[in-house]
Amino acid sequence: MKQIEVSSKEKTDLINITREIQSVLAESGIESGICHIFVPHTTAAVTINEAADPAVARDIKMELNKIVPFQDGYKHMEGNSAAHIKASLVGPAVCIPIENGRPALGTWQGIYFCEFDGPRRRKVGITTIPAS
């Protein structure tokens, strides 16, 4: 497993990490297989969505903040229940096929690290599994 670090600048932040994942795949030398991306934090997540228009990430952040407001009578003493809920909704991992040494993403797709309790410095784990 390889790890990369991601630094968020906002409380809720979607950061395109597609280039970093592509670099890890290039270093691995794997031409065909699976890339598993895992976020080992309970208030962060990873997702795949449109990367061509930055307004999409902005809209996702805006709607998640509406669906799960920061303050809503939560009982968790640390005060970041909204971040835990958002991380559970989005999820901690994605798997992407590797084709020709690159993530087999759709034309407009990108890989996003999702911060819900920032700003923070976080880790993302990338495991590459070659095809047999």
Task: For residue 42, count other CB atoms closer than 10 A to its CB.
Answer: 14
Q: How many domains does the chain contain in total?
A: 1
**61-83, pLDDT tens digit by residue?**
999 999 999 999 999 999 999 99
pLDDT given at position 62:
97
Query: Residues of the chain with pLDDT > 70: what percent?
Result: 100
C-alpha 111/C-alpha 123 separation (Å) is 15
Read off the CATH number of the domain in which 44 is found.
Answer: 2.60.120.460
For residue 19, what are the domain limits? 2-130
**Pairing outcome for strands 102-103 and 121-130:** unpaired
Cβ burial, residue 4 (10 Å; 0-12/13-18/19+): middle
CA 52 to chain centre: 16
Please list, in sequence order, all residues whose beta carbon lies within 8 angstroms of the beta carbon of residue 60, skipping any fewer than 6 positions away: 14, 49
On the question of pLDDT at 132 being above 90, the answer is no
What Å distances lie between residue 41 and 3, 29, 99, 123, CA to CA?
A: 13, 28, 28, 8
C-alpha 14/C-alpha 60 separation (Å) is 9
Q: Is the dihedral of CA 74, 80, 83, 88 positive or negative?
A: negative
pTM greater than 0.85? yes
